[in-house]
Amino acid sequence: MTKKPGYNIGIIGVGYVGLVTAACFAQMGNKVRCYDINAKRINNLQQGGVLPFYEPGLDGLVKKNLKSKRLGFYINLKHVVDNSQIIFFCVGTPSRKTGSVDLRYLQEAIQSVAKLCDEHKIFVVKSTVPAGTAELVRKIIKRYYKGRVDVVSNPEFLQEANAINSFLKADRVVLGYADDCPVEIKKIMREIYKPVKAPVFETNNRTAELSKYASNVFLATEISFINNIANLCDAIGADVKVISEIMKSDSRIGQKAFLNAGIGYGGLCFPKDMKGFIRIIKRNGYDPTFLKMVEKINIGQRKMVIKKLRQMIKRIKEAVVVILGASFKPNTDDIRDAPSITIIEKLLALGAKVRVCDPVSLANIKNIFGDRITYHFQTYEALKGADAVILVTEWDMYKRLDFKKVKKLMEKPIVVDGRNVYNPQELIKLGFKYKGMGR
């Protein structure tokens, strides 16, 4: 395998991670061929670059590299395998009911590719997997391919709503190898990521696999920690936003992006990885009580929003409550384990009439709630005659609301600021009843 101006890369699984990885590798000058078992998705992407989800900037990047023919989408797996030097596996690894990681789809993908191999390939596992998965992958490949097998662990650290930047301008690249991995393989992997200009951590497979869990669980812990402080602030009359800034000024803590109180974390990665990490800890004979508390605090924040609302409104039944933001974070349409879902369910259970505003995820939220709630792109329209508004997702448009106008539109001026983006003094001065998270 000799160095080329760009590498022939195969991507197996064109979900969020796979599509972002493919577009970015193509942008870096490689020839990228993608395969997914979802033929409709592949056809939509190949015909016009129609994305299956919303991610800022990705649509343009996909179309640009389709046009340049550096990026292609195929339903023929053999074509992708035959024409790829390096094959990245980006298939889903969801949680089972027990919290353990379901590796079924990864195993099936590895098996399907291995059956088609008639020459050496570099197998790269980008999916989030428990430590020890690389060894399992190696065993599966060896059942079908009798040549040398090299499996690289290359966990993804993509940030939804900022995925392109978090790939092309990554904080770090992690590469895990077997002890007997040839120097040539390591050189190729470094070359692929050279345009990223990020620190490269080369280690063994298990360390690389565990590093993804460690990073996400730490960030989730930060969020639950500051939310626990926020709840204490509510009890004693302190302001968590000021406390957060004081903490960040400590050079030992630094400007932690996740040290901001609110409704808590959601999305696919943090909840799934927390459950998976807890299972790993238990399986190895350690006590996961601390991490279970992190989970408990996070879920509790969603209930706290309802508690705050009930403190300000005498009768929730039949009250019109507007939810600002349905996605789990701004600039994405991802509603997987989004706090909005829990909050809406609890409001409906209390008999409230729920209106939901979001610029991109209304179709996804409608798949869950159907005609039980109403859906609005126009914020001020949704606020007409409302009894309360809850900020759930801090989209820029909701940060810039004209509250003088809002006051005139609402039946009752009640605001629950689930992300602490509004100025309490200003809203109270305008005549609103206001509650933030720990403010």
Query: Residue type for 103, please?
Result: L
Q: Which two tokens mark 84?
A: 């790829």
Given a contact cutoff of 8 angstroms between Cβ atoms, the answer to whether 324 and 255 are in contact is: no
Tell me how far apart the alpha carbons of residues 71 and 27 are, in angstroms, rounded to a whole number.
9
- CB atoms under 10 Å from CB of 57, counted, come to 13
Cβ neighbours for 433, distance < 8 A, ≥ 6 positions apart: 312, 412, 413, 414, 415
Strand, coil or helix: what is 122?
A: strand
Angle, vertex CA 157, rays to CA 151 and CA 160, nearest 5:
135
Quick one: DSSP state of residue 75? Answer: S
Given a contact cutoff of 8 angstroms between Cβ atoms, the answer to whether 432 and 313 are in contact is: no
φ, ψ dihedrals at 164, nearest 5°? -65, -45
Strand, coil or helix: what is 341?
A: helix
Given a contact cutoff of 8 angstroms between Cβ atoms, the answer to whether 209 and 133 are in contact is: yes
Tell me how far apart the alpha carbons of residues 324 and 278 are, in angstroms, rounded to a whole number.
32
From 94, 87, 96, 95, select the one nearest 116 (Cα to Cα): 87
Quick check: is 90 catalytic?
no
Q: Please tell me which residue in 24, 117, 233, 269 is annotated as part of the active site.
A: 269
Tell me how far apart the alpha carbons of residues 381 and 320 are, in angstroms, rounded to a whole number.
13
Which residues are the active-site residues?
269
